[in-house]
Amino acid sequence: MSQPNAGNADHAVLTPANNRADINVVEEAVLKALDRHGYPEASRFAVRLALEEALVNAFMHGHRGLPESETVEVEFSVSPAQVVLTVTDKGPGFSPESVPDPTASENIELPSGRGLMLIRSFMTEVRHEQGGNRLVMRYERPDQA
Amino acid sequence: MRTSESRLKVKKDGGVIEVQFRDRNILDEANIQQIGEEIKTLIDSEQKPKLLINFTDVDHLSSAALGTLITVNNRLRSLQGQLRLSNIDPQIYQVFVITKLNKLFEIHETADKARASFKP
C-alpha cells in the first residue's frame, strides 16, 4: 500500500486492498492521528466503527465482482475540532435510499444491512457523492460540538 | 489460509454452553465466519442448547458480527434452544440499541444473571 508514513500524518490518502493488514494500517493511521489530538475513547470507538463499516461496504458491495486486489481510496483529515473521512470505491455506486431499514420488523432478523445505519448514527454528518461510490463522513469532537 | 486455532473460549457448566472471545476486536470477516462456524458446531451437538455468549474483554464489534449473532439466534430457535448475551461494554451496547437488536436478544449485565435466566 502507498503512503508508508501515514502513521504520523493528520492528513493522508491511503489505498488499501481487501485484506486485514491493509485495513489495519488505515485504521491505525487514523486512530494515531486522533490520539495526537487527544480525542476521547468514545471518539476512537465511533471513528473506528464508521471506518470499518465503510470499508466493508466498499469492498463487499461497491467492489462486488471486481478482483480482491482492487483498492479503495481513503482520505482522512484530523484536526482538533473534527475528523473527515472519505472512502471512494471503484464500483458502480448505489442509491442510499434503496437500502432497507434494518430495524423494521420484517428486516430485524436479517443478518446484514446495518453498516450504513451505524455510520450515520456515530458520525456527525454523512454524505454520498459520485453516484454513491464516495462516502464522506464528518465527525465533530464531542466537547466542541 | 485461515488459522485453524479456535477463536473462542468454551465452558460447559450445568447444561449451559458459555463462550467468550479470544479477540478484543471482532471485526475481521474471516474470524467472524470462523466464530459462526464454531458456535454452530457447539450448539448442533446439543439437544435444546442453552448458549451464553459472554462479551468480556471485547472492545469492538462490527455489523458483520451482529449478523453472525442473528444467524446463531435463528439456528438456536430452530433447535428449540435459548440464547443469552452478557458483559457487553457500554459502547458496544449502544450498537445493539441503535440497531434495536437489544430487543431481539436477551442481554444481561453479568454472566451469572444470564445463566440464572435460562428456562429449564
pLDDT in tens, A51-74: 999 999 999 999 999 998 999 999
Q: How many CB atoms lie within 10 A of CB A6?
A: 21
Q: Kindly compute the dihedral angle of the four CA atoms of residues A71, B60, A34, A25, in this order, to the nearest 10 degrees.
A: -30
**A114–B99 CB contact, under 8 Å:** yes
Please check the confidence at residue B28 and state whether its pLDDT lies above 90.
no
Q: How far is B37 from chain A (nearest CA, A)?
A: 15
**B63–A121 CB contact, under 8 Å:** no
Q: What is the identity of the amino acid at A43?
A: S
Domains of chain B: residue spans and CATH = 8-116 (3.30.750.24)
Name the residue range of residue A139's domain: 4-144
Which of A109, A110, A121 lies at the smallest CB-CB distance from B98? A121
Inter-residue contact B39 to B17 (CB < 8 Å): no
- Output the average pLDDT for chain B: 94
ipTM comes to 0.90
> How confident is the model at residue A143, as a pLDDT?
74
Kindly write down the DSSP assignment for every residue of chain B, as one continuous string.
----S-SEEEEEETTEEEEEES-SEE--HHHHHHHHHHHHHHHHTSSS-EEEEE-TT--EE-HHHHHHHHHHHHHHHHTT-EEEEE---HHHHHHHHHTTHHHHS-EESSHHHHHHT---
pLDDT band at B1 (very low <50, low <70, confident <90, very high): very low
Q: How far is A112 from chain B (nearest CA, A)?
A: 6
Residue A45 sits at the chain B interface (C-beta within 8 Å): yes
Q: What is the pLDDT of residues A19-55, one digit of tens each?
A: 999 999 999 999 999 999 999 999 999 999 999 999 9
> How confident is the model at residue B19, as a pLDDT?
98
Residue A142 sits at the chain B interface (C-beta within 8 Å): no
**A114–B67 CB contact, under 8 Å:** yes
**A108–B98 CB contact, under 8 Å:** no
**A49–B30 CB contact, under 8 Å:** no
Which of A45, A109, A115 lies at the smallest CB-CB distance from B63? A115
Distance CA A65, CA B57 (A): 36
Please check the confidence at residue B4 and state whether its pLDDT lies above 80.
no
Distance CA A61, CA B51 (A): 32
> How confident is the model at residue A53, as a pLDDT?
96
What share of chain A has pLDDT > 90, as a percent? 81
Q: What are the chain A neighbours of B71 within 8 Å (beta carbons)?
A: 111
The CATH number given to whatever domain includes residue A16 is 3.30.565.10
**B101–A45 CB contact, under 8 Å:** no
The mean pLDDT value for B46-58 works out to 97
Q: Kindly compute the dihedral angle of the four CA atoms of residues A14, A17, A18, A24, in this order, to the nearest 10 degrees.
A: -40
Q: Domain count for chain A, please give it.
A: 1
> How confident is the model at residue A50, as a pLDDT?
98
